[in-house]
Amino acid sequence: MKVKRAAKAGFCFGVKRALDMAERTSETSHAVSLGPLIHNQQVVKRLAERGIQVVEDLDELTSQQALIIRSHGVAPKVYQGAENKGIQVVDATCPFVQKAQRLAAESAKKGQQVIVMGDKHHPEVQGILGWAGEQAIPIQTVEEAKQLPFYPHLAVLAQTTQLAENFAGIVNELKSHTDNLIVHNTICNATAERQKVARELAETVDVMVVVGGRNSANTRKLASICAERTKTYLIETADELESVWFKEANSAGLTAGASTPDWIIEEVFNKMTEMNEQEMDMATWFDSCPELHQGTKVTGTVVKITREEVFVDIGWKCEGVIPINELAVSRKTRPEDAVEIGDEISAVVIRVENEEGHTVLSKRKADEEGAKDRLEKIAETKEEIQAQVVEVVKGGLVVDVGLRGFVPASQIQPGYVENLDQFLGQTLRLRMIDYDPAKRKVVLSQKVILEEERAIKRTQLLETLKEGDVVAGTVRRMADFGVFVDIGGLDGLLHISDMAYTRLKHPSDMLKIGDEVEVQVLKLDQQTGKVSLGLKQLKESPWEKAAVNFSVGSIVNGKVVRITPFGAFVGLGEGVDGLVHISQLADHRVNKVEDVVKVGDMVSAKVIDCKPEEKRISLSIREAIAESTKEIDQEALASQSDIKPVTIGDAVGNDLPTETRE
């Protein structure tokens, strides 16, 4: 029977990241996790042996403990509760889950009814619901979706481990429950890829074995997918395997959930293989052993990985061992990043036998030998290659091209690169500019490729671009007078005066490097390639409505924004200032503007002239004061007119003698 292992199986990025963070935290702090860190009893047991305690409630914690948020994530109230208790939080939430939480919160804030597809009892779904607010609704099936009423605005997202086809069915149903459906596909790519690979493998074998925790949602989904195509068994450890399952099978497949560590997968794989293989005759085994000496190139299978070494089965009496410094081009490579258990690799013998009886090997030297011919050809043809950045060193980057390739900082990209660390782990497009195999010297450049492409794009753009065009671009550089925007191979100047109708002290008040903007081509010189761009031109000028908003004779309020010897400018709105001439500042002679107003003062003034076509408004504080005084006087006169005149009779009364009154 042939045993086939799925190419994508075991720990996903989020789970591996959470475990790494937990182990690092346990080395320096008394670490606890809120609920089991992952849905795998064996891994949780190992973590407990390292001192990582599992709690179910924040009340069980003290401020001396470090709280690890598992990859499933939690609701905002958990962070707040930890902060209130002074508890250190180590947030190991999977980045894919964090994205779902953020989208749920943003949708709720916009007034959209949030629908979360997933198991409402699963901690990931409960966490997302916490970010979406009390009105969010969890559903898992199309039938549940059919029961929903009509909503003006709907937003739907999914638990990251859900099946894509199930999510599509629910989305299709929700279209009839709203006029505005926003769909956030939050299903993890790694989950979808793992499910796809498992489905394809199950279609080619007689029996499938799925390894993982029975309480893990993604593991159960894998098992259900495989079971639709072939006989499938879900197990947690190798001890659960039964030989009778494979009695009539010609082939068997093996996959694992995202919470299953490599060592469990390897145990299951080995036991499945052993069930159908007989032990090799000892004499035959010795005859098949290779003859080893220093410099021999051997091929073997990775069977064990530790922090310092990688063990390789090379068919020798004892396993070969690769020290970490002989593993890869990068001196900082972690063993698990360079190889995986089950990988077939080539290595060179550098010591036939060490003190423990192991053959000491170098994978790095084997890789270098295999790379020389290829690099010589690349040096001749100048073809483009791709390589990953494995180290940041003084003056540039180290990339893995079989040898240690060096990319000087000046050759990474056009323009100055301030932070080299941002490229660590990235894959660069490179061309060899210097190669000396005797000195093991390989110098490469990405800049030459980017500049060639930029030149082509620049030529194409100049042929089609015209004044008035609206184009998208990215802010690349910044100066005091404006920013330079890359509009697709060509840098255009967006002057500070064309950024906004309001006055800006510096372009950084509005934009930052890396911002995506839509701009209008104001001026284009085909000969020099110089382009002037505008941003404010895409918006309505506030002066277009100035005549209506600031009509002559009206009283307006504003803040003094600038002072000159001849008057004060008052801000009346975005991009609109009015001038109060020094002669209009007060109802008395003013020798110095600062004697009456200063920047920041709020003032009332009368509009005495408005010329939008000249972008000019004249104001008068003096006339505003006069009008205010006039209104007060009129109100005083009006109040006096209501008083009845007093006669002598009213004053003296009716006590005078009759003859006197006559």
Task: Return the bridge partners of 434, or none.
Answer: 443
Average pLDDT over residues 103-132: 94
Percent of the chain scored above 70 by pLDDT?
92
Question: Would you say residue 351 has pLDDT above 70?
Answer: yes
For range 181-186, the mean pLDDT: 93
Other Cβ atoms less than 10 A from the Cβ of 642: the count is 6
pLDDT band at residue 368 using 50, 70 and 90 as cut-offs = confident
325 against 255, higher pLDDT: 255
Tell me what the mean pLDDT of segment 618-647 comes to: 74
CATH architecture designation of domain 465-538: Beta Barrel (2.40)
Does pLDDT of 584 surpass 60? yes
Query: Looking at residue 331, what is its pLDDT?
Result: 66
Q: Looking at the predicted structure, is the pLDDT value of residue 74 above 90?
A: yes
Q: Which of 17-21, 149-153, 479-483, 560-564 has the lowest mean pLDDT?
A: 17-21
Per-residue model confidence (pLDDT) at position 294: 80
Give the residue from 396, 416, 415, 414 showing the smallest Cα distance to 406: 396
Res. 286 pLDDT band, cuts 50 70 90: very low
The model's confidence at residue 633, banded by pLDDT at 50, 70 and 90, is: low
Distance separating alpha carbons of residues 281 and 288, to the nearest angstrom:
11
Q: What is the pLDDT of residue 654?
A: 55
Confidence of residue 636 (pLDDT cuts 50, 70, 90): low
Q: Inform me whether the pLDDT recorded for 543 exceeds 50.
A: yes
Q: Is the pLDDT of residue 203 over 90?
A: yes
Does residue 124 carry a catalytic annotation?
Answer: yes
**In the predicted structure, residue 11 carries a pLDDT above the cut 80:** no
* Contact of 557 with 604, CB cutoff 8 Å: yes
**Residue 657 binned pLDDT confidence (cut-offs 50, 70, 90):** low
| Mean pLDDT in residue range 232-237 | 91
Residues 503-528: tens digit of each pLDDT: 888 999 999 999 999 999 999 988 88
Q: Is 556 helix (H, G, I), strand (E, B) or coil?
A: strand
Q: What are phi and psi of 64, to 5 degrees?
A: -85, -5
Burial of 216 (0-12, 13-18, 19+ CB in 10 A): buried
Residue with tokens 């000892």: 282
pTM, two decimal places: 0.40
* Burial (CB count within 10 angstroms: exposed 0-12, middle 13-18, buried 19+), residue 142: middle
> Which DSSP symbol is given to 504?
-
Whether residue 659 has pLDDT greater than 50: no
Radius of gyration (C-alpha) of the chain in whole angstroms: 38
Confidence of residue 429 (pLDDT cuts 50, 70, 90): very high
Confidence of residue 48 (pLDDT cuts 50, 70, 90): confident
Task: Report whether 389 contacts 425 (CB < 8 A).
Answer: yes
Residue 281, pLDDT score: 40
The structural architecture, per CATH, of the domain 294-367 is Beta Barrel (2.40)
Domain 2-91 grouped into CATH 3.40.50.11270: yes
Same topology, domains 2-91 and 294-367? Answer is no
User: What are the boundaries of each domain within the chain?
Assistant: 2-91, 95-187, 191-274, 294-367, 385-445, 465-538, 547-641
Q: Beta-strand (E) ranges in 526-644?
A: 530-534, 555-564, 567-573, 576-581, 602-611, 616-620
| pLDDT, the chain, mean | 85
**What fold, for 191-274?**
Cobalt-precorrin-4 Transmethylase; domain 1 (3.40.1010)
Tokens of 502: 């309001």
Architecture of domain 95-187: 3-Layer(aba) Sandwich (3.40)
pLDDT at 630: 78
Average pLDDT over residues 130-139: 94
User: So what's the pLDDT on residue 169?
Assistant: 94
pLDDT the model gives residue 661: 42
- pLDDT of res. 651: 52
User: For the domain 385-445, what is the CATH superfamily, name and number?
Assistant: Nucleic acid-binding proteins (2.40.50.140)
Q: Kindly indicate the confidence band of residue 279, based on its pLDDT and cuts at 50, 70 and 90.
A: very low
Catalytic residue of the set 27, 60, 124, 326: 124
Does the pLDDT at position 290 exceed 80?
no
Q: Is 547-641 in CATH node 1.20.1630.10?
A: no
Structure tokens at 530: 């110089």
Detail the DSSP E strand segments found in 185-296: 207-211, 231-235, 251-256
The pLDDT value recorded for residue 548 is 83
pLDDT of amino acid 151: 93
Mean pLDDT of 39-51: 80
